Amino acid sequence: MSQPVLIARDVYKRFHGGPQPVEVLAGASLAVQATQSLAITGASGSGKSTLMHLLGGLERADAGNIEVCGRDWTTFSAAEQGSWRNRCVGFVYQFHHLLPEFTALDNVMMPLRIRRESAGIAQIKACEMLELVGLASRMLHKPGELSGGERQRVAVARALVTRPALLLADEPTGNLDSDSAQLIFDLLAQVTREHRTAMVLVTHDLELAKRCGTVLRLSKGILQSMKRPADIVD
């Protein structure tokens, strides 16, 4: 078996904002291979979003190590972290975080322009990705002119336009109705499979979690394996 795209070993994280430190992660570990989809569930406030920030190199763990594409986040300078993230990691959040003054096409082109690809090449790749998510006729519309489901599809296209090895999706369907949620998940599953992308999905939607190949539950700072996704109950 090839090297996992993502490995987290014994990750610890505490917050010190109050009178007592709060231990959010207490030795969390996971590994994800190319094309594998892994869902993380857990109660609100259990640390799921914190874990995702650590996996994507947006925050540093207090202890443990996290490797993406064979490199540990702690070995990078801040500039190197940003470059590696742009190269290897795509993010989709509950809120789309699109730039409202730019068109869907411009938003999807942005990660490619950040890595200094030419405007022409970036536009071609962004158009192809928007077509893949079913928005070929809407690519010149701004976010305010799109529905909630359409905006989230643009966010998916933006996350995947760089062909990242790892996709981190934090409650990507949390603001959508059931039909739109299923559509977004189907898109994520299709594109990650076709591009051999590893996906880590945080979700409260147990039906979506069951559709992933592996399901972990974050409880008391530890990731606990569920025996079978089909056995998950709320």
HSE-up (13 A, CA, CB side) for residue 125: 19
State residue 183's pLDDT score: 82
Mean local confidence (pLDDT), 143-156: 90
Q: Decide if 233 is inside a domain.
A: no
Q: Decide if 192 is inside a domain.
A: yes
The number of domains in the chain is 1
Residue 230 clears pLDDT 60, i.e. is over it: no
pLDDT per position as a tens digit, 120-145? 999 999 999 999 888 999 999 999 99
For the chain, the average pLDDT equals 87
Going by DSSP bridges, is the β-strand pair 214-219/37-41 parallel, antiparallel, or unpaired? Answer: parallel
Range of the domain at 117: 6-228
Contact 122, 112 (CB under 8 A): yes
State residue 146's pLDDT score: 93
Q: Decide if 1 is inside a domain.
A: no
CATH number for the domain that contains residue 108: 3.40.50.300
State residue 229's pLDDT score: 45
State residue 233's pLDDT score: 46
Alpha-carbon distance of 169 to 208, in angstroms, equals: 12
Structure tokens at 84: 């590696």
CA dihedral (215, 199, 63, 84) in degrees, to 10, reads: 180
Mean local confidence (pLDDT), 36-40: 91
Residue 30 clears pLDDT 70, i.e. is over it: yes
State residue 136's pLDDT score: 92
Mean local confidence (pLDDT), 20-39: 88
Choose from 73-87, 97-111, 173-187 the range with maximum mean pLDDT: 97-111
The residue behind tokens 């994800």 is: 32
